A and B are shown apart, each in its own frame.
Chain A
Amino acid sequence: MNLPTINKKRITELLKQDKRLDGRTPFQYRDIKIETNVSNKAEGSARVTIGKTEVIAGVKMATQTPYTDHDDEGTMTTSMELSPICGERYELGPPKINAIEIARVVDRGLRESGFIDWKKLCITPKEKVWSINIDIYCINDDGSALDASALAALVALKTARFPEYDKETDTINYGEFTDTPLPLTKNQALSMTFYKIGDSLILDPNREEEDASEARLTLAIAKPEKDRIISAMQKGGQTPMTADELIKIIEQSEKNYDEKFPEIEKKIKDLMK
């Protein structure tokens, strides 16, 4: 965005030797920390930090009339804000396209993996279903807000508990939680975004690297059975990617999934105890 050309040149040159300014290897993540219960008013919430990047997400439940084409399924809305708190470059006002894109990519990753059992969110077919609202806020943006957002949203959903609900009067007793978790399946997809800088690919860019990148590809990967599956994909940025690059990304993502994600999943599991 506002990156001096000289920094971009340096980042690109270094990457040719598989090196990065902060000493990491191309596919090495910064420290990932996950916390839950950011807000006790939320049905579920989480904080994710990746290096200096911090994102919080909260889940609020409500009821609504279902959409006519899915009249026995619950709904979900995901929104994301990169507000001025998280960096000097961000301005006041409703979410701009970069935040909207993050929200949509996160939403798709959760939705398309079959992670949520929509039918179990139905209260009365054609009349009343649960709606899930996921709100994601970036507190400090030092790159990789997208992957941090996806992880925070996932953990917030996993920690969420239904509020008390009276079916007769259709009223939610907000603030009183049941012990019932949301109807989630094993198809838990984790998001991984590759960034292209020059001819190199990296994971988890910091702010400068993200600015230096010309294109990116987000994959939501799950392993419900033996095989790893990609449940959502989105290319960002204007620079095209070659088929070779795509294949390289898929191969690297499999490797990365096996190396990095057990650790993340363990962190999530430990939090759920």
Chain B
Amino acid sequence: MPYEKRADGREMNELRPIQAKVGVVPNADGSALFGAGKTIAIAAVYGPKPLHPAHMKKADTGIIRCEYNMLPFSVTERARPGPSRRSKEISMITENALAGVIDLKRFPGTVIDVQIMIVQADAGTRCAGINAAAMALAHAGIVMKEMISSVAIGKIDDKIATDITKEEEDYHDGEGPTDIPFTITSNSKEITHLQLDGYIQTHRFKESIEAAKIACEKLNEIQIRALKGEEIDENKEKEK
């Protein structure tokens, strides 16, 4: 069966209802919650602060250290607590996605710790984590060259779909599912993170970039609104 209509009734280029809010962890220097549909991530930033162990210290620059943590009850079958190969990789790509927009040279010898927790997972958790982390960094008052926003573009069968769900990731008819998470900067539209799981025809890849750019622009708008103090929950807005 070709993939014509999305299971949740969204347009192909439509994001899920977004939740965004800053200040969710009072102890942290900056924190944020970001949700897309049923995926919910929270992030907290501590730092810049002195770096231990000292051998990791760099005299000319600060470093950013991310920890992506999927809670055991965020998924259907309990996830084993603690780091896994998957979570270590996602922590690293999150660091890479964020490092590009932070002027780490301003904080030599220090570390910025970014903690990410996935509370509820329905695909796109790394993107939600990155979005929450970017907001938390800004909320912490850390100077950023620009904002970043992250979205998982999918190719479900032969349709390019924005912000795919777990159900779509598990769609195996036709060309099957392809997951392409992007992280894009707000002004220069540079890509600080890109992965691909599945396959896409080379001549169609451009479509996925375009879809990601449009989605990230919308996300950026929401992130900025939340950073100005608004509590955004499009689930609730929809109910009204």
Contact = CB atoms under 8 A, between A and B. Distances in A.
B120 A85 contact: no
B115 A39 contact: no
Contact of B73 (A39, A83, A94, A139): A39
A60 B25 contact: no
Contact of A140 (B27, B40, B49, B82): B27
Interface stretch (A1-9, A51-59, A215-223, A251-259): A51-59
Interface stretch (B64-72, B97-105, B155-163, B181-189): B64-72
Interface residues of B, number: 29
Nearest to B25: A140
A268 B20 CA distance: 28
B46 interface: yes
A243 interface: no
Nearest to B49: A88
Nearest to B121: A41
A135 B81 contact: yes
Contacts of A79: 72, 81
Contacts of B120: 38-41
Given A84-B46, A85-B25, A140-B26, A41 B76 contact: yes
Nearest to A54: B25
Interface residues of A, number: 33
A84 B78 contact: no
A92 B25 contact: no
Given A41-B76, A84-B46, A142-B26, A58 B81 contact: no
B73 A135 contact: yes
Q: Which of B28, B72, B119, B121 has the most CB of A within 10 A?
A: B72
A81 B115 CA distance: 13
Contacts of B24: 139
A54 B23 CA distance: 13
B138 interface: no
Contact of A135 (B71, B76, B77, B113): B71
Given A56-B119, A84-B67, A45 B46 contact: no
B46 A139 contact: no
Nearest to B65: A92
A175 B78 CA distance: 11
Interface in A136-193: 137, 139-142, 172, 174-175
Contacts of B81: 79, 81, 135
A39 B76 CA distance: 10
A32 interface: no
A240 interface: no
Given A40-B38, A41-B120, A140-B27, A85 B44 contact: yes
B74 A39 contact: yes
Given A84-B67, A94-B82, 8 more contacts: A40-B38, A45-B73, A56-B71, A58-B74, A85-B115, A140-B26, A141-B27, A142-B26
Interface of A: 38-42, 45, 52, 54, 56, 58-60, 62, 79, 81, 83-88, 92, 94, 133, 135, 137, 139-142, 172, 174-175
Instruction: For the complex of A and B, list the 10 residue pairs with the smallest distance between their C-beta atoms, beginning with the closest.
Output: A58-B73, A174-B76, A60-B78, A42-B73, A85-B115, A39-B120, A135-B72, A175-B76, A87-B27, A85-B44
